[in-house]
Every structure is written in C-alpha cells, then in structure tokens.
Amino acid sequence: MLLTAPFFCLNLKKHIILNNSEILDEVNKMSSNTLMETLKIEFTEIGDNYVVCKMPVTPEVHQPAGILHGGATAALVETAGSFASRYFIKDREMAIRGVEISTNHVKSISEGFVYAKATNIHMGRTMQIWEVRVSDEQNNLISLGKLTTLAIKKK
C-alpha cells in the first residue's frame, strides 16, 4: 500500500505489517524540507478515528505580540486533518486535497506545546470533514479548526 499526500509519500509495500509507531516514524521523516519541519510539527498518535500532532510554541511561531500566530495554528490544523484523511482513506489511487479550512482562536499561548487532534466528522469516499482541536499541555482549548478534504483520483 502507498500512503501519499501533498507533503509525504510512504511506500508500505516494503513492510509486511507496520504498527502505528513505525508509521509515525516514517511520516515524521517525510516532513523534512517542508512547512512541517519549519514549524517543527511532529505526528505523535494515531487512533481508531483520529490523528494527533504537536508543535512547539516558540518565538519563531509568534506574532509580534509574543503569542502563537494564527497562521501557524491554521497550518497545524491543516497538517493534522490532511494526514488523517490520507491515513484513513488508504487508497493509493486517490490524492488528498484540502479545500476549506476554518480556525477559531479562543485562547492565546506564548510557550510550551500545542497539540492538534483531528477527529473525523464525516468520512465519505470523496469528501472528508475533520474537527481539529488545538489544545495546550494542560488540555485547555487554544483553537478549534474544521478542515474539509477531497479524495480525488490521481491522474
């Protein structure tokens, strides 16, 4: 099986069985030289219907006011949701494309880590909708995102 997305390609044919830890390791390696590496986003968990990734909150992702920039948060939301679609679709003939994203920022943060948990709201053959909750290390809600992706046949 081939896991692909705009930002990674994972050839699973060379492995008989991969556990979630091995998949996470491979996907994290694929983030090299991408926005995920720039933002230091790391995939940390795969569940039955969700994916979690984390991002450090440092001055590199701050806005001028010294708090987490909303654009960095939106990139985290899209990263978590896009990978979740790719992982759960599992059809190598399909490409995943994000088509709509919204992110509501409810609390600011200036240091530590934020965690994005993408949980599917709708998992259709063509359209997938993800709720992405971004929380801090104490599980306080920082932002709430929604991502819509489409699975389209590769050309």
Give the residue among 67, 45, 42, 43 at the shortest CA–CA distance from 57: 67
Q: Is 37 a catalytic residue?
A: no
* SS3 per residue for 98-135: EEEEEEEECCCCCCEEEEEEEEEEEECCCEEEEEEEEE
- Write out the chain's pLDDT in tens, 155 residues: 344 333 344 544 444 467 888 889 888 998 889 999 999 999 999 999 999 999 999 999 999 999 999 999 999 999 999 999 999 998 889 999 999 999 999 999 999 999 999 999 999 999 999 999 999 999 999 999 999 999 999 98
Domain 2-153: CATH class, spelled out: alpha beta
60, 78, 93, 137: which one is catalytic? 78
* Contact between 91 and 109 (Cβ < 8 Å): no
Q: Measure Cα distances from 92 to 1, 69, 71, 106 in Å.
A: 7, 34, 30, 37
